[in-house]
Structure 1
Amino acid sequence: MGRRAQAAAATLAQLTTPQKNVALVRMADALVAHIPELLAANDLDLAAATDLPAKFTDRLRLTKQRVQDMAAGLRQVAGLADPTAVIDRGWTTAAGLTIRQQRVPLGVVAMIFEARPNVTVDAAGLTVKSGNAVILRGGKEALHSNQALAQVLRSALADTAVPVDAVQLIADPDRRFATALMHLTDYVDVLIPRGGAGLIQAVVKEATVPVIETGAGNCHIYVDAAADLAMAEAIVVNAKVQRPSVCNAAEKLIIHSAVAPTYLPQLAAALTAHGVALRGDARARAIVPTMAPATAADWDTEYNDLIMAVKVVDSLDEAIAHINAHNTKHSEAIVTNALAAAQTFQRRIDAACVYVNASTRFTDGVEFGFGAEIGISTQKLHARGPMGLTALTTTKYLIDGNGQVRE
């Protein structure tokens, strides 16, 4: 598979933007045309997943609308600018050399991911457009869904300029194949794990292939003393309940003591009305006694569920210190009408995405205008935040001379 991917990547790197776009549109059309077969395959996975928590089955489930959305994502990627057609910059040196810095594909991208069949399509679309081949290894819980999706995508490539082996899926769920992929240094240029913290850390520790760490999301919303409280309620409720199983959902609520006594009961009622179980520190529980007590572990936990921990603080500095001590560098938000507080929060919070007066749920490649994302990077090297097409490229220097030699 590594050899075939490497050969496919070499061909892909030479294709024109229109050739890649034709392939993407064919892939999108094929998904829509095969919705019944895709849903049937997904039903097999769902039938075997009855003992899994709802947060996993939500990510695993395919519907007609979700397949159509994946197809729409491929068409959107086809309409985006091709990053490999870009010259980042150019200049002439003192020696008369003309240097251009051009975007080029990474080569072969590998992905190891959990029960998220949409990743199969997102990864295929973004890698094809950016000129990369991809080897996919999904979780065993989504095996039938991923196999069906990969087969549809590969079949769609058969009559295009893009090699069929630009998209490959490891169909055997045996863990040794995932381990082998992590060590495929002769063929794989970068490995991107996507899933929970356990999967990501296991890949980071095991892999010898370069890894881009994508993120668990222990995301916070801080309601400042100067917040518009109606706005804060709408943002907090949306960030927690709109889709609690995903990494950009808010897991923690931090609230300033100046507004907590009168406002926290209202906000707690709004959250519990949506089924959210609240866990508070001592100060939060003194205001809303029905909250369960928060433990030390709660502050570091990504729930992916209708659970939220609540802390009362006395200052912006205290909120920032708490968030930086416990976050996963994913997405953090402040609700405030104080410009100085907003600017301080954005400057000092260490995270890929820092919001003022908006829900953390917007940390998403589509919402950012990147098209379908391949993941949300929480590290600082190469890529950070939602990873679209440009994050799947690197650069090379093209140098033209007329006989120069260095003295």
Structure 2
Amino acid sequence: MSEVVQKAKLAKQAAPKLGLLSTEQKNNALLRMADALVAEAESIIAANAEDLQRGRESGISTSLLDRLALNRQRIEAMADGLRQVVALPDPIGDTLEAFDRPNGLQIRKVRVPLGVIGIIYEARPNVTVDAVGLCLKTGNAVVLRGGSSALHSNKRIVEVLHDSLKSTDVPADALQLIMDPNRASVDEMLKLNGLLDVLIPRGGASLIQNVVKNATVPVIETGAGICHTYIDASAQPDMALKIAINAKVQRPSVCNSMETLLVHRDFAERHLASIAEQFVQQMVELRGDAEAQRLVPTVKAATESDWDTEYNDYILNVRVVEGLDEALAHIRRHGTMHSECIVTENEANAARFLQEVDAAAVYHNASTRFTDGFEFGFGAEIGISTQKLHARGPMGLPALTSSKYCIVGEGQIRG
């Protein structure tokens, strides 16, 4: 029996017991895990240092190293995320609707766990903690398969979490980590119908598409983030600069960072040169269309493929557009339905943008960097769904539930 099947079976066996636990029992386990992470921060950082060293030796990019890196502040933030999940209402058992039928049947629709959730992700070890916290709070067992670049970090984190569960009512087998770094382990997870109830991929476009195209287990797709900011003619220059810089530079390695800046021609004529200068000072490489190059000669020529690239790096596309219609057309063609922003003082244009852009999160005068479960008040998040079925946008606790109908009768039979 392979490691993948063995651990999926253990999770499947633990799921029924986990699903029956009270909110208090689950919260107690989450608090124990949060305390354990902080107490074992140094051992986690030491394991993470091994992954960082291997990453440097293999030549992975600075932005990916940033996604991989852990320090005490980031570990404390992971622990705080668990504590925030504790403070959130437990959706399990909530009544979604209730009604009586003319024949006397009382029908109630309630939230229930999904069962066993498989999560396939790449270089961010904080995803390990976020996923565990959200899954256990909603009564779901979880099978994790992280990227090989974070193997030591994830192993140590899960060891710490497992140890902390021993003194709680949560069965430790409800949390499983696949250690096999070969792609075959991913391929095996995609076909575990009957053991896994749903798969959630988190990572780059190639990982997500592999899961979506090849899985027979149901998938919740978390899409790539080719996010745009459109600066309209009426935008306040200072606000536009702050939002654009934040959307790209605050943390370029994540999916809600901006990859393309669209600028109204009138605004560009007045302000694009000064905005470009600020980006250059932040070590951002600019690639643009002919008009952007005319206004800022240091901008490199963008290729057609650049508009469809999620860089996750200090690279930004710039395009000058004639107005809102052209900006909307560009987003429809190149966006990934993740996060899009308009910076404008024109309320009619803002209303059109909010209504017409088809994305999980659409912003008016705010950075796309806010598309995040923590920022939305969900505590942690399991991912950002760009599909439309079951869940969309940052997925917190309710997104990890299903429902069932409970029907109470008095001996009714169907005639």
TM-score, length basis structure 2: 0.97
**Counterpart amino acid of 1:167?**
L
Give the equivalent residue in structure 2 for 1:4.
10
Give the equivalent residue in structure 2 for 1:38.
44
Are 1:130 and 2:134 counterparts?
A: no
CA offset at residue 85 of structure 1? 3.3
Give the equivalent residue in structure 2 for 1:364.
372
**Counterpart of 2:195 in 1: which secondary structure?**
coil
Give the equivalent residue in structure 1 for 2:214.
206
Say which of 30, 40, 51 aligns to 1:24. Answer: 30
Say which of 14, 19, 22 aligns to 1:13. Answer: 19
Give the equivalent residue in structure 2 for 1:318.
326
CA offset at residue 104 of structure 1? 0.5
CA offset at residue 109 of structure 1? 0.2
**Counterpart of 2:307 in 1: which secondary structure?**
helix
Say which of 264, 273, 277 aligns to 2:285. Answer: 277
Give the equivalent residue in structure 2 for 1:83.
91
Deviations 1:238-283 (A, max 9, x none): 1010001100001100011121111111111111111111111011
For the 8 Å contact 2:263–2:320, the answer to whether it is kept is yes
Give the equivalent residue in structure 1 for 2:104.
96
CA offset at residue 316 of structure 1? 0.7
Give the equivalent residue in structure 2 for 1:114.
122
**Counterpart amino acid of 1:349?**
V
Are 1:57 and 2:65 counterparts?
A: yes
Give the equivalent residue in structure 1 for 2:388.
380
Give the equivalent residue in structure 2 for 1:224.
232
**Counterpart amino acid of 1:406?**
R
Deviations 1:36-62 (A, max 9, x none): 110111111111111111111111111
Q: Distance in 1 between matches of 2:331 and 2:151?
A: 37
CA offset at residue 94 of structure 1? 2.1
**Counterpart amino acid of 1:376?**
I
**Counterpart of 1:84 in 2: which secondary structure?**
coil
Q: Distance in 2 between matches of 1:292 and 1:177?
A: 41
Size of the alignment, in residue pairs? 407
Q: Distance in 2 between matches of 1:320 and 1:95?
A: 52
CA offset at residue 284 of structure 1? 1.1
Moved more, 174-183 or 98-107: 174-183
Give the equivalent residue in structure 1 for 2:195.
187
CA offset at residue 406 of structure 1? 2.3
Query: Percent identity, aligned pairs only?
Result: 57
**Counterpart of 1:127 in 2: which secondary structure?**
helix
Q: Distance in 2 between matches of 1:291 and 1:357?
A: 25
CA offset at residue 95 of structure 1? 2.0
**Counterpart amino acid of 1:400?**
V
Structure 2: gaps of 5 or more residues: 1-6
**Counterpart of 2:201 in 1: which secondary structure?**
strand
**Counterpart of 1:265 in 2: which secondary structure?**
helix
Moved over 3 A (4+): none
Q: Distance in 1 between matches of 2:335 and 2:244?
A: 17
**Counterpart amino acid of 2:277?**
A
Are 1:140 and 2:148 counterparts?
A: yes
CA offset at residue 172 of structure 1? 1.6
CA offset at residue 215 of structure 1? 2.1
Structure 1: gaps of 5 or more residues: none
For the 8 Å contact 2:8–2:176, the answer to whether it is kept is no
Are 1:262 and 2:294 counterparts?
A: no
CA RMSD, aligned part only? 0.8
Q: Distance in 2 between matches of 1:88 and 1:343?
A: 31
CA offset at residue 91 of structure 1? 1.0
TM-score, length basis structure 1: 0.99
CA offset at residue 395 of structure 1? 0.8
Q: Distance in 2 between matches of 1:77 and 1:46?
A: 29
CA offset at residue 405 of structure 1? 2.1
After the TM superposition, which residues 326-341 of structure 1 pair with which residues of structure 2 at under 5 Å, given as runs?
Answer: 326-341=334-349
CA offset at residue 226 of structure 1? 1.6
**Counterpart amino acid of 2:16?**
A
Are 1:160 and 2:183 counterparts?
A: no
**Counterpart of 2:316 in 1: which secondary structure?**
strand
**Counterpart amino acid of 1:123?**
A
For the 8 Å contact 2:232–2:324, the answer to whether it is kept is yes
**Counterpart amino acid of 2:241?**
E
Q: Distance in 2 between matches of 1:40 and 1:155?
A: 18
For the 8 Å contact 2:359–2:386, the answer to whether it is kept is yes
